[in-house]
Chains A and B, each alone.
Chain A
């Protein structure tokens, strides 16, 4: 008998994205809810009737009632799927907490909220051993009990937990440390983990699924769910990584030396996503540009800011270095050139605390001078 299920985690429903423009924040927030239907679609495409969500279903305990109910509604709509929800460190199962509210609202029939360390019979002889977190910081290995958690002989044991794995350099925020060999010690066919937002195998039969919809500029692989199939007790599960994200969050660093480098940058940005409207890009620029090249960059940025869902260009490390041409545009050795040189001296001296200010002042000087020329020509 083969048992198939979908392993996902870190939905972080209700995440606010307040640092992004409100309309984009709304889209991103909505995309997380929309992921529920996509995951259900992936489940049915892979012959799975169960979706195990390894914690952090909700981004916070104090989400509005509407947000909580909306999540339940979205899951209830996918009636072909049974959702097994595990409280994580963002949404721990504590009295008066978010799951109490969910219980108050009434849980749809196809949702199982696990709130106790107790084997849960899923399908025939398949048992889920869940380790719900009961506080943000339990300070213990919640999977400990799995070693002794009793299931009938011949049962397929699947662990479900949320936290960091010991010895693995996770940047997960929780202080929960899960023994790396838990799958072995607890006789698990598979241990489904949440907290690390990228899809990652961290040990034998032990996987992080990552978040199905990225929520930050990552250095891991977010935006997947895992389709898992288990052929029987003691048989290693087979795992398939399936893309599930609507939005791509990317972080790119590029060194610019001239306007012509912009073309290369453009190509690399275009390769990040087939749908630029769903790409959020954090672009860190280094190198140096002349003032006129900087103006070209500004124009480029305006274009791409419109093209992408979001473009954040960090030019803190991009130097502005006026070249002869820049000075020539200011005219002969007049007072403007003198002013520009004085600012350029400051800007090019990294030991000065006001070098960045001077660089900006220099850009403004050239901008205003160009404007004055235009007016003079009018």
Chain B
């Protein structure tokens, strides 16, 4: 497609009709000072080819000149050998007319005209139209470069991974493919999102409206929670007060209290009378004990008195017996003392008798025996040793014997052992003497008698011993001691009235005890068993405890109610609970605001993603072929060496003058040049696909130095002459440059177009 003419009326800066009628093939340059309206022609091109004739509102307003009027735009263009005219009237009486100039007829009107125009210039299809791709408006080439580092956080942005040059080309492709309007909307969307969300878009931006609203909401929620807790506590307290009051009322109900009092009093009275009875019983039982003890004591007194009398009597007998015994003992002892037949004497006598017997035996052995028979005539006349012998006699003569027969003879007989006999006789005589003496002492005539006498004495001694033993049994201390005891007993005061009185006493005491016993037994039947009494006491205690605990409970309830009331009064003073309604309303309000802002954020995010998706689609479609086309231009403009491409066309750097450079940051000039070259690439790509549109540059390359500008111009020049592909239009690319810098583009040879007045036909 080639633009042949462009005419405007009541359009932006041009209130009066104006036209450029002399567009040529190849390069066209419109130079002029600032403000002359170059950009108006750019907008007019847009209006003619892109903007709908029925546009309204701000879009329409933007097209209207200050002076007012209805904008009119008309463009003539050639396409595949045919010439066409699109004429658009905006605002009141809006219309679009597509005229086939070759055929000299109107091809279509209004919406149909616009649709047919779209088809003519290759706008139909799944990709957006090409016009926006290649028309570069003043200063719109410059994106504010995305800083790789977030100034606030100091962190590297994810985008920083991308090579700046590749990024720049990518962005240019996106912008070119998406169109300027899309790009701007995207920027506005992102700017709006920046208000709400962090750059990563997954959290609310700190102190942004959403964050602030959420904080306010959360703060209100927290305050509301506190207030609700306070209100709940107050409610609980009030209910507790009501419950405690009800409890108090129930406990202190007069009829209930009266019944409790009555029951208690009855129990107390019952127990008191029982205690009284038990006291009487105890007294009686004690009295009985006393009576019994008194009776016992009386019995003991009686027994004692009886014992004393008996003892006196016994002592009396003992004393008589002892006296008697003592008299006998004295007599016996005297008898013994006077009796010579003592055992010692008897022993002496025995020894003497034995000695005599021994001497006698000696005498007899040696003696001569005389045997005499005295005849009756001699009776009384024969004597031996003076002893008259009568009848027949035998007579031993130990030593000598004198036999005298009176008047007849005296005869002496002498024994043979007269000497020994003499000694023996002497001994015998001594013994006989001793015996005689002893016998005298004993008072016995003969030894036999002495012996009898000794035996009798011995029996007397034994008798004495027996007497003494007996006395010792009767009165060990002797009769005197008994007498003394007797006297003492006798001397102790006997009771008045004596035993009889005592006996009477015993009887009366026993009777008293009996009476008391009967009384105790009688009382016993009236009192409770101990077990029953303890149970009754326990019952009373329980009743009393219950009464006391009721009193305590009432006191506790009173205190509890007072405490709760004062707590409640404190809470009322605090007033937090009263804020629930206000705060919940406030929360609702803030929450509504948060929801509104969240919805806003979500909508903006959805918009941003939709736009991104569309841009990504364009980028994916165009990035690779455009980059390939641009590469030679890049080499030409930026140096002898080319771009280094990694896989998937990731540009890893720009080699310039033999030195590789990483383009962390591209200069404004470089990006501007890239923008023009990318659009040139697009135009050539489209031309190769059979859609040829002019490349329109509105005040481009303002940041480029002369050398670089010259190189760009050469590239553009070459492109305008090159035949892009077989089968396409024979002429090279039409390039329209709108610039205020005539000298800068001097090297760009081509048509210098001029603005002329126009008289639109009605």
Please state if A374 and B62 are interface contacts (CB–CB under 8 Å).
yes
**Segment 35-65 of A: residues with Cβ below 8 Å from B:** 59-65
Please state if B578 and A333 are interface contacts (CB–CB under 8 Å).
no
B contact patch SS: helix
Cβ contact of A16, chosen from B179, B573, B585, cutoff 8 A: B585
Q: CB of A370 within 8 A of chain B?
A: yes
Q: Considering only CB atoms, which chain A residue lies closest to B117 in the complex?
A: A332
Tell me the bound Cα distance from A178 to B265 in angstroms: 48
B602 — which chain A residues lie within 8 A by C-beta?
354, 357, 360
Cβ contact of B599, chosen from A101, A342, A357, A377, cutoff 8 A: A357
Please state if B241 and A94 are interface contacts (CB–CB under 8 Å).
yes
Interface readout for A75-118 with B: 1 if CB under 8 Å, 0 if not?
00000000000000000001111001100000000000000000
Please state if A329 and B59 are interface contacts (CB–CB under 8 Å).
yes
Please state if B582 and A335 are interface contacts (CB–CB under 8 Å).
no
B178 — which chain A residues lie within 8 A by C-beta?
335
Cβ contact of A15, chosen from B128, B132, B581, B607, cutoff 8 A: B581
Interface readout for B125-140 with A: 1 if CB under 8 Å, 0 if not?
0001100100001000
Please state if A377 and B12 are interface contacts (CB–CB under 8 Å).
yes
Q: CB of A20 within 8 A of chain B?
A: yes
Q: CB of A274 within 8 A of chain B?
A: no
CB distance from B539 to the nearest CB of A (A): 37
**Segment 577-635 of B: residues with Cβ below 8 Å from A:** 577-589, 592, 599-600, 602-604, 606-607, 610-611, 614-615, 618
Please indicate which of the listed interface residues A18, A65, A67, A97 has the most CB atoms of chain B within 10 Å of its own CB. Answer: A18
A363 — which chain B residues lie within 8 A by C-beta?
603
Please state if A335 and B242 are interface contacts (CB–CB under 8 Å).
no
Tell me the bound Cα distance from A354 to B603 in angstroms: 9
A333 — which chain B residues lie within 8 A by C-beta?
118, 123-124, 128-129
Q: Are A325 and B58 also in contact (CB < 8 A) when A60-B578, A61-B234, A64-B575 are?
A: no
Please indicate which of the listed interface residues A62, A343, A358 has the most CB atoms of chain B within 10 Å of its own CB. Answer: A62
Cβ contact of A63, chosen from B230, B569, B578, B584, cutoff 8 A: B578
A336 — which chain B residues lie within 8 A by C-beta?
179, 181-182, 185
Q: Are A369 and B580 also in contact (CB < 8 A) when A292-B56, A332-B52 are?
A: no
Q: CB of B237 within 8 A of chain A?
A: yes
Tell me the bound Cα distance from A241 to B604 in angstroms: 52
Q: Are A62 and B234 also in contact (CB < 8 A) when A19-B586, A332-B114 are?
A: yes
**Segment 316-355 of A: residues with Cβ below 8 Å from B:** 324-325, 328-336, 338-339, 342-343, 354
Q: Which of B26-34, B491-499, B512-520, B560-568 contacts A (4 or more CB under 8 A)?
A: B560-568
Q: CB of A304 within 8 A of chain B?
A: no
Please state if B50 and A334 are interface contacts (CB–CB under 8 Å).
yes
Tell me the bound Cα distance from A63 to B52 in angstroms: 64
Tell me the bound Cα distance from A328 to B53 in angstroms: 8
Tell me the bound Cα distance from A16 to B179 in angstroms: 53
Tell me the bound Cα distance from A338 to B733 in angstroms: 29
Tell me the bound Cα distance from A63 to B231 in angstroms: 11
Give the interface size bracket for A toward B: 35 or more
Please state if A334 and B179 are interface contacts (CB–CB under 8 Å).
yes
Tell me the bound Cα distance from A20 to B614 in angstroms: 42
Tell me the bound Cα distance from A135 to B241 in angstroms: 12
Q: Are A16 and B581 also in contact (CB < 8 A) when A94-B242, A95-B238, A364-B189 are?
A: yes
Please state if A60 and B182 are interface contacts (CB–CB under 8 Å).
no
Please state if A339 and B581 are interface contacts (CB–CB under 8 Å).
no
Q: CB of B572 within 8 A of chain A?
A: yes
- Interface size in chain B (residues, C-beta < 8 A): 77
Please state if B606 and A361 are interface contacts (CB–CB under 8 Å).
yes
Q: CB of A365 within 8 A of chain B?
A: yes
Tell me the bound Cα distance from A18 to B586 in angstroms: 4
Q: CB of A14 within 8 A of chain B?
A: yes
**Segment 139-186 of B: residues with Cβ below 8 Å from A:** 177-182, 184-185
A61 — which chain B residues lie within 8 A by C-beta?
234, 238
Q: CB of A308 within 8 A of chain B?
A: no
Q: Considering only CB atoms, which chain B residue lies closest to A328 in the complex?
A: B52
Q: CB of B188 within 8 A of chain A?
A: yes
Q: Considering only CB atoms, which chain A residue lies closest to B571 in the complex?
A: A62
CB distance from B188 to the nearest CB of A (A): 4
Q: Are A62 and B577 also in contact (CB < 8 A) when A329-B59, A332-B52 are?
A: yes
Interface readout for A130-143 with B: 1 if CB under 8 Å, 0 if not?
00001100000000
Please state if B572 and A101 are interface contacts (CB–CB under 8 Å).
yes
Cβ contact of A65, chosen from B58, B128, B573, B584, cutoff 8 A: B573
B43 — which chain A residues lie within 8 A by C-beta?
376-377
**Segment 155-202 of A: residues with Cβ below 8 Å from B:** none
Q: CB of A371 within 8 A of chain B?
A: yes
Tell me the bound Cα distance from A378 to B13 in angstroms: 11
Please state if B181 and A25 are interface contacts (CB–CB under 8 Å).
no
Supplied contacts A62-B230, A325-B54, 17 more A-B pairs, CB within 8 Å: A16-B582, A16-B583, A19-B592, A60-B578, A62-B571, A62-B572, A64-B578, A67-B578, A95-B242, A333-B118, A343-B606, A343-B610, A360-B599, A361-B610, A368-B188, A371-B188, A376-B43
Between-chain CB contacts (< 8 Å), 19 pairs: A18-B586, A94-B238, A95-B238, A328-B54, A329-B56, A332-B50, A332-B51, A333-B124, A334-B128, A335-B128, A335-B614, A343-B607, A361-B607, A368-B185, A372-B185, A372-B188, A375-B184, A376-B180, A377-B12
Hey, which bits of chain B sit against chain A, CB under 8 A? 12, 43, 49-52, 54-59, 61-63, 114, 118, 123-124, 128-129, 132, 137, 177-182, 184-185, 188-189, 192, 230-231, 234, 237-238, 241-242, 245, 561, 564-565, 568-569, 571-573, 575, 577-589, 592, 599-600, 602-604, 606-607, 610-611, 614-615, 618
